[in-house]
A and B are shown apart, each in its own frame.
Chain A
């Protein structure tokens, strides 16, 4: 049996329910319709209501399966629909505890996929960088991002909750999300725009300044940085252009700090009467706190 046109979790679920009702075994289904790894933008494909003679049975699966499946559905892999249906079949046919068998190959694959999607979404929440533009006289915040998986529709919700009172667009190769403070519009993916006009928005300069100065050159740990912020994200992060310079300069800066003469802690106290008085007042108070007079 061929199933075409499944592009998101919702349509998969509708198909899967139908197939399960008809007791169609996973090995007899070919989910590989065309262009599986694209997102659906047109009207959702209408599923014909089941006309089968089988009475609708209520299938129950663990809530956790739905959660994992919903995430795995965004994984960029043509085989995901087949895997999800196979797991659903097993869960409803004598293996209700299947998800607890973390060492089962299909369960591991499902968990891996869900995990990868969650991580990708988390990185998208973190690494999207808006630039402020003027569009039709209004402030509009525009970002370009390249997610690994098909997560734009699902992550849009996060940005709406956070930036509800801003106009924004997140452009990616798979899909673009636009928010005008009223509603979300999803459009088809695009190429990296070369003309994001952000003249007049110099915040990236402030951000780079902050990044440069919050860095501690005496604790260089570039591997720790790269495991959390892999190089593939760098070209869309305004601060990343500083990484090489900061890394290379750190040794010299630290050496300089170590070579500098140290100063006696009292040297300013001796010069400034005002400071001495301020400090002595506090020190006297502490003296009482530290050695309370016992009666």
Chain B
């Protein structure tokens, strides 16, 4: 098969991995006149495809042959899609050629499992090693680790990769057993633990090194400076949003993930009959991301974000964002006084983002705020007006007590459909 045809097959195979991050790694450049590339700081999205996703990395599989039978996966053993395999040299060449033309920030390499786990992991490492050592590549490398790969191989992968990831795939052990019988929660989480300790060891050494020599010198031990991440498939099993977010929370607190990605399972070519027929609406994925943000940056707990009782227990409201939904369930917290409330409370106000909340605390040291000031900070007044007090505004107390407060925020159905075009609903309606 020609290289350009392999590229088609192995990009097709890689597109269901949502991550394309290239940010937050160590600062590097090629000013020393050796090698090529730079990294560090914010990532760069070099392009966007019509699915709205950014293209930052060359995201491909080394091969889409695989002995695993994960029902949700386009590359599972029984899938009849075209199969191909890159050689190590081909991936290295493509990465460098793309990089030199400024198409990409680097490489995101994953693979189907061939022969066995360690063999596959070795192949991935060979690519990264070649790029780093032979070509002095200083761009970004994200390697997908293979479940159950040996600790020695993980260590080596961490030396060359900026980020390592292993997908949790499904929120519960039961779902994993049913839909991905070759994977086990235990195997996945033990890899996560190893990555975590590798990352922390390198960080610790770097810190100590800096402290002792009192100047910034390069620390010897390098291990995935951009941390680890994971991905969960939404809608392939019947787990509730509550279950999903609890798993997410565990991934953040126990394994110090930089990011957990959600991927609403979408129609794939040659699907397995073990999957539900209808894909979940894309808006569910969107709400989970919003909830994820509340967990990480807004001081919410999982049991606050998802309603624990009532008809919708365990599920996020698809029509309004999770913070607004929380506020409607907890009206006794409001109104919040914009000029006096502590930052933690400002963060709870619907429509006020983390940055805006911080900005408010800076401005109000010098000047008390009015509604017009909030407008200048681009706060959506319509959303937050019922919940706040400013110098010139006190919310109508009846409004906060109104039975149907939620109805004020729910957009008409048509608008909703246009906002989140889910192909499944387009096709079936």
Q: Which residues of A contact B (CB under 8 A)?
A: 97, 100-103, 108, 122, 125-132, 141, 143, 158, 160-166, 181, 203-207, 209-225, 228-229, 237, 239, 243, 246-247, 250-251, 254-255, 257-258, 260, 262-269, 275, 278-279, 282-283, 285-286, 289-290
Complex A-B, nearest 10 residue pairs according to Cβ-Cβ distance, in ascending order = A224-B52, A221-B52, A268-B78, A213-B11, A161-B29, A286-B184, A215-B49, A262-B273, A289-B186, A218-B266
- Selecting from B222-230, B236-244, B365-373, the interface stretch reads B365-373
- Are A290 and B49 within 8 A (Cβ)? no
Residue B413 at the A interface, CB < 8 A?
Answer: no
Number of residue pairs spanning A and B whose beta carbons lie under 8 angstroms apart: 242
CA distance A165 to B31 in the complex (A): 8
Query: Is B33 part of the binding interface, using a Cβ–Cβ cutoff of 8 Å?
Result: yes
Bound-complex Cα distance A209 to B271 (A)? 24
Q: Which residue from B45, B181, B274, B373 sits with its C-beta under 8 Å from A283?
A: B181
Q: Does B37 contact A (CB under 8 A)?
A: yes
B46: nearest residue on chain A (CB-CB)?
A126
Given contacts A163-B102, A217-B423, A222-B50, could you give 14 more A-B pairs where the C-beta distance is less than 8 Å? A100-B366, A141-B101, A164-B30, A166-B36, A213-B7, A215-B51, A219-B52, A251-B427, A255-B427, A257-B269, A263-B271, A266-B69, A268-B78, A285-B184
What are 14 A-B pairs with beta-carbon distances under 8 A? A126-B45, A203-B97, A203-B101, A206-B98, A210-B7, A214-B59, A219-B282, A239-B47, A246-B49, A257-B267, A263-B80, A263-B273, A265-B273, A279-B77
Q: A264-B273, A286-B184 are in contact. Are A102 and B362 (CB under 8 A)?
A: yes
Q: Is B296 an interface residue (CB 8 A)?
A: no
Instruction: Determine the chain A residues whose CB is within 8 A of the CB of B363 once the complex forms.
Output: 100-103
Determine the distance from Cα of A275 to Cα of B356 in the docked complex, in whole angstroms. Answer: 55
Once A218-B279, A219-B266 are accepted as A-B contacts, the answer to whether A212 and B272 lie under 8 Å apart by CB is: no
Q: Which B residues lie within 8 Å of A251 (CB)?
A: 423, 426-427
CA distance A172 to B393 in the complex (A): 50
B301 at the interface (CB under 8 A from A): no
Interface residues of B (CB under 8 A from A): 3-4, 7-9, 11-12, 14-16, 29-38, 42, 44-55, 58-60, 67-69, 71, 76-78, 80, 94, 97-98, 100-103, 173, 177, 181-187, 266-275, 279, 282, 359, 362-363, 365-367, 369, 373, 376-377, 421, 423-424, 426-427
Contacts of B58 in A (CB 8 A): 210
Distance of A269 Cα from B35 Cα, bound (Å):
47
Contact assessment for B98 and A203 in the assembled complex, using a CB-CB cutoff below 8 Å: yes
Q: Which of A97, A143, A220, A265 is the most central at the interface, judged by chain B CB atoms within 10 Å of its CB? A: A265
- CB of B272 within 8 A of CB of A100, answer no
- Please tell me which one of the listed residues A243, A264, A269, A283 contacts residue B50 in the complex, with CB atoms under 8 A apart: A243
- List residues of chain B with CB within 8 A of the CB of A246: 49-50
Contact A162 B362 (CB under 8 A): no
Q: A100-B366, A223-B52, A279-B69 are in contact. Are A262 and B272 (CB under 8 A)?
A: yes
Compute how far the CA of A131 lies from the CA of B29 in the bound complex, rounded to whole angstroms: 22
Task: Collect the chain A residues with CB atoms within 8 Å of residue B272's CB.
Answer: 262-265
Specify the chain B residue showing the minimal Cβ separation from A282.
B182
- The DSSP consensus for interface residues of chain B is loop
A130→B30 contact, CB < 8 A: no
Closest Cβ of chain B to A249, distance in Å, is 10
Within the assembled complex, what's the spacing in Å between the Cα atoms of A165 and B177?
Answer: 50
Q: A218-B423, A219-B282 are in contact. Are A289 and B184 (CB under 8 A)?
A: yes
Which residues does chain A contribute within 8 Å of B44, judged by CB atoms?
122, 125-126
User: Which residues of A have CB within 8 Å of B46?
Assistant: 126-127
Chain A residue contacts of B182, Cβ below 8 A: 279, 282-283, 286
Q: A128 vs B427: C-alpha distance in the bound complex, in angstroms?
A: 38
Q: How far does the Cβ of B100 sit from chain A's closest Cβ, in whole Å?
A: 6
Closest A residue to B3 using CB positions: A206
Are A206 and B4 interface neighbours, CB within 8 A?
A: yes
Complex formed: what's the CA distance from A263 to B81 in Å? 12
- Cα A101 to Cα B46 with chains together (Å): 35
A279 and B98 contacting across the interface, CB-CB below 8 Å: no
Q: A125-B44, A126-B45 are in contact. Are A260 and B270 (CB under 8 A)?
A: yes
Of all chain A residues, which has the CB nearest B419? A223
**Which of A164, A206, A243 has its CB near the most chain B CB atoms (within 10 A)?**
A164
How many whole Å from A222's CB to the nearest CB in chain B?
A: 5
Determine how close the nearest CB of chain B comes to the CB of A119; give it in whole angstroms.
12
Chain A residues with CB below 8 A from B54, complex form: 228
Question: With A265-B272, A290-B184 as given contacts, are A129 and B4 in contact (CB-CB < 8 Å)?
Answer: no
Cα-based distance from A141 to B11 in the complex (angstroms): 26
User: Complex Cα distance A260/B78, Å?
Assistant: 15
Residue among B71, B100, B271 making CB contact with A141, cutoff 8 Å = B100
Verify A214–B14 contact, CB threshold 8 A: yes
When chains A and B are docked, how far (Å) is the Cα of A237 from the Cα of B101? 12
- Whether B367 contacts A219 by the Cβ 8 Å rule is no
Q: Which residue of B lies closest to A254 (CB)?
A: B423
A253, chain B: closest CB distance, angstroms? 9
Asked if residues A162 and B37 are in contact (CB atoms below 8 Å), the reply is yes
Q: How far, in whole Å, are A212 and B35 apart by their CA atoms in the complex?
A: 30
- B residues less than 8 Å from A207 (CB atoms): 98, 101, 103
Given contacts A213-B8, A214-B55, whether A229 and B181 have CB atoms under 8 Å apart is: no
Identify which of A165, A204, A269 contacts B78 (C-beta below 8 A).
A269
Closest to B30 in A: A164
**Inter-subunit contact A279/B181 (CB<8 Å):** yes
Question: Judging by beta carbons under 8 Å apart, are A210 and B31 in contact?
Answer: no
